[in-house]
C-alpha cells in the first residue's frame, strides 16, 4: 500500500445554509504534488483550512501522517502543524522586518534549541534555494512582487515541512514570474522531498507542478486524474473552464 500523508474522508462543511463541501474524500501520497482546481467560491481554501485544522468541518475525518487531527488537543495539533508549511493567498511579509528577520521568525518560534549562528546559516541556505541570497538585508518594500513571493516561499519552507499547502501561489503575478514560481515550487518539492497540495486556477502553474489534479464543483470532487485528462476532458463544464483559463494566461 502506498504511504499517504493526507487522507480526507467524507468531509462536509456548511456555512449556515451554504453547503461548501459534501462528502469530499481525497488522499495525497507522500512526495506527490496534488493540484486542486475549482471556480472561485468552490471551497478550495476551506478545504486547505480544514486540513491544517484552522477550520472545523461539520463531519468527516482528516488524517495527517496517520493521525486523526480532529481528535487532537491544541497542543497535539500544533505538533502536527510543525510539519506543515503553508503559503496563503496574499500572505504578506512583515513590512518592518528585514528579509533575514522575516525568515528567522518561524525558526525562533518553532525551534527554541537553535543557536543564532544555526538560525543565520539556515536563513542563508534557504535564501540560496530561492536564489535570493543578495536580498538578506533588504526590507520587503525594496523587493519586486516576484521577489516577495520567493521570500514568502522561503519563509514557509524554512522549517522543513513534510507537507506544503499553497493557496493560489501565482495569483497576481505576471505570466513569466508565475512560471518561475511554479518551477521553483516543483524544484523545492523534489529537492526537499516535500508533498504539496496546490490550489490554483493557473493552468500553466498546474502543468508545471502537478502529478495529479482534482476539480471541486458543487461541493464535490467532480474529477480526479492527471492534468492531461482534465484539460482534454469532453465534459462541457471542464472544457469551458479550461478554455477560459487558457485565454486568460
Ligand X SMILES: Nc1ncnc2c1ncn2[C@@H]1O[C@H](COP(=O)(O)OP(=O)(O)O)[C@@H](O)[C@H]1O
> Which residues of this chain interact with ligand X, rule CB under 6 A?
15, 18, 20, 38, 40-46
Measured between alpha carbons, how far is 171 from 116 in angstroms, rounded to an integer? 35
Nearest residue (CB) to Mg ion, 90 versus 116? 90
Nearest residue (CB) to ligand X, 40 versus 115? 40
Smallest distance from ligand X to CB 15, Å: 4
Smallest distance from ligand X to CB 56, Å: 11
Computed over its alpha carbons, how large is the radius of gyration of the chain? Answer: 18
Measured between alpha carbons, how far is 35 from 46 in angstroms, rounded to an integer? 15
Interface segment toward Mg ion; rule CB under 5 A; list 8-16, 43-51, 74-82, 134-142:
43-51
Smallest distance from Mg ion to CB 159, Å: 24
Q: Which option in Mg ion, ligand X, none does residue 15 bind, with CB closer than 5 to 8 A by kind?
A: ligand X
Report the SS3 class of residue 56: coil
Interface segment toward Mg ion; rule CB under 5 A; list 18-26, 41-49, 108-116, 228-236:
41-49
Measured between alpha carbons, how far is 19 from 42 in angstroms, rounded to an integer? 10
Task: Find the Cα–Cα–Cα–Cα dihedral 199, 203, 205, 209, rounded to 10°.
Answer: 80
Instruction: List alpha helices for the chain, DSSP H.
Output: 44-51, 74-81, 99-110, 116-129, 145-157, 175-192, 203-209, 227-231, 236-248
- Cell of residue 134, nine digits: 543578495
Smallest distance from ligand X to CB 243, Å: 20
Q: Does 42 bind Mg ion (CB under 5 A)?
A: no
Taking the mean position of all CA atoms in its chain, how far away is CA 203?
Answer: 16
Nearest residue (CB) to ligand X, 43 versus 152? 43
- Cell of residue 44, nine digits: 478550495
Q: Which option in Mg ion, ligand X, none does residue 20 bind, with CB closer than 5 to 8 A by kind?
A: ligand X
Smallest distance from ligand X to CB 214, Å: 12
Q: Does 170 bind Mg ion (CB under 5 A)?
A: no
Give the phi and the psi of residue 26 in degrees, each rounded to 5: -140, 155
Interface segment toward Mg ion; rule CB under 5 A; list 20-28, 38-46, 156-164, 211-219:
38-46
Residues forming the site for Mg ion (CB under 5 A): 45
Amino acid at each position: 500500500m502506498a504511504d499517504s500523508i493526507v487522507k480526507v474522508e467524507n468531509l462536509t462543511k456548511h456555512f449556515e445554509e451554504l453547503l461548501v463541501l459534501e462528502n469530499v474524500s481525497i488522499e495525497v501520497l507522500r512526495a506527490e504534488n496534488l493540484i486542486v482546481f475549482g471556480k472561485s467560491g468552490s471551497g478550495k481554501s476551506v478545504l486547505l483550512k480544514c486540513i491544517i485544522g484552522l477550520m472545523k468541518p461539520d463531519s468527516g475525518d482528516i488524517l495527517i501522517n496517520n493521525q486523526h487531527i480532529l481528535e487532537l488537543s491544541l497542543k497535539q495539533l500544533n505538533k502536527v502543524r510543525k510539519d506543515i508549511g503553508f503559503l496563503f493567498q496574499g500572505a504578506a511579509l512583515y513590512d518592518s522586518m528585514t528579509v533575514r528577520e522575516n525568515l528567522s521568525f518561524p525558526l525562533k518560534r518553532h525551534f527554541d534549541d537553535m543557536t543564532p549562528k544555526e538560525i543565520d546559516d539556515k536563513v542563508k541556505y534557504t535564501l540560496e534555494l530561492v536564489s535570493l541570497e543578495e536580498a538578506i538585508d533588504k526590507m520587503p518594500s525594496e523587493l519586486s512582487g516576484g521577489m516577495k513571493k520567493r521570500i514568502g516561499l522561503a519563509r514557509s519552507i524554512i522549517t522543513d515541512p513534510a507537507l506544503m499547502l499553497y493557496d493560489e501561489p501565482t495569483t497576481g503575478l505576471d505570466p513569466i514570474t508565475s512560471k518561475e514560481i511554479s518551477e521553483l515550487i516543483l524544484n523545492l518539492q523534489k529537492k526537499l522531498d516535500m508533498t504539496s497540495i496546490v490550489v490554483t486556477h493557473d493552468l500553466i502553474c498546474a502543468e508545471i507542478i502537478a502529478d495529479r489534479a482534482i476539480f471541486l464543483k458543487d461541493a464535490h470532487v467532480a474529477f480526479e486524474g492527471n492534468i492531461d485528462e482534465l484539460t482534454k476532458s469532453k465534459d462541457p463544464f471542464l472544457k469551458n473552464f479550461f478554455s477560459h483559463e487558457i485565454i486568460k494566461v
